[in-house]
Amino acid sequence: MPIFDTHVYLESYPIPGVNQNAEQIAQVMANRGISNAVLFSQRALQVDPLSGNRILKALIEPFPALFGAAVAHTSRIESSVLAIRDLLGAKRFVGTLLVGKDLGQPLHPMLSDEILVACRRYQKPIFILTPNAACVEVGLHFAKAYSMHRFIFLGMGGQDWQNAIAAAHQATNIFLETSGVLDMAKLPAAIEVIGAHRILFGSGAPYQDPVATLGLLAEAGVAANNMQRILFDNATKLFALAE
């Protein structure tokens, strides 16, 4: 069964030789049976959206199984909008990750509006980091205010995964990505409430080994048809890769 990991980071990991370039990431993924992955540039996330995103674009170019998401920073709106215009027209860039100054804190809606408006013409999903309930709350606000966008909640609310499921229940343009805590209860609960068609496999690699998240899916007793959707079909459909 092909597997699409929708949440992988390029560069800036404590252990060398794991994700310093696309080749290393492709190797880690291949060793674990992961067929495709969406990469986020840590350089863009932590330092400079413009150069980080461009480096990502260049690095994934020789690896057709790897895709990218443009990182847009609410404190660097101008360069983020430039990066979006530069990259989102390309098929290999499947969406935009919207981040603020503190990755553990919720995004500020006023600072996010310009970026979300700039993304509208591309009709590609918006990724949002949701490590806690406060971030989920703002993500839900965005989902309701920008009903034309589809939002992917990376990390599925962390320990507060019940909030993420409740948000996805309220807004059908929210998708939940499976990384975050390895809690046996969260995936069965999510499938029961929102169905398997809005859940995407993602690991947060290399911070979490994809096999750890795969272990969670396997042990949570997810039915085979739902497993296929979560691991691959939902991502290719959402990112319009089959077209």
Comparing CA positions, the residue from 81, 174, 110, 100 lying closest to residue 136 is 174
Check if the beta carbon of residue 68 is closer than 8 Å to that of residue 45.
no
Query: Which residues contribute to the site for another protein (CB under 8 A)?
Result: 13-15, 17-19, 28, 31-32, 159, 162, 182-185, 189, 205-209, 211-216, 218-220
Nearer to another protein, 19 or 130 (CB): 19
Q: What span, in angstroms and rounded, lies between the C-alpha atoms of 215 and 186?
A: 13
Q: In terms of CB distance, is 65 or 193 closer to another protein?
A: 193
**Residues linked to residue 99 through DSSP beta bridges, in sequence order:** 73
Residue with smaller CB distance to another protein, 46 or 51 = 46
d(C-alpha 117, C-alpha 134), whole Å:
23
SS3 182: coil
d(Cα 74, Cα 103) in Å, to the nearest integer? 11
Tell me whether residue 49 or residue 155 sits nearer to another protein (CB atom): 155
Distance, in Å, from the CA atom of 35 to the CA atom of 39, rounded to the nearest integer, reads: 13
H or E stretch covering 75: none
- Judged on CB neighbours under 10 Å (0-12, 13-18, 19+), 242 is exposed
Q: Alpha helices of 88-132 — where are they, by DSSP H? A: 109-119
Q: 138: closest CA among 186, 172, 104?
A: 104
- B/e letters for 65-92, b = 16+ CB within 10 Å, e = fewer, are ebbbbbbbbbebbebbbbbbebbbeeeb
Q: Measured from the CB of residue 157, what is the shortest distance to another protein in angstroms?
A: 12
Q: How far is the CB of 216 from another protein (least distance, A)?
A: 5
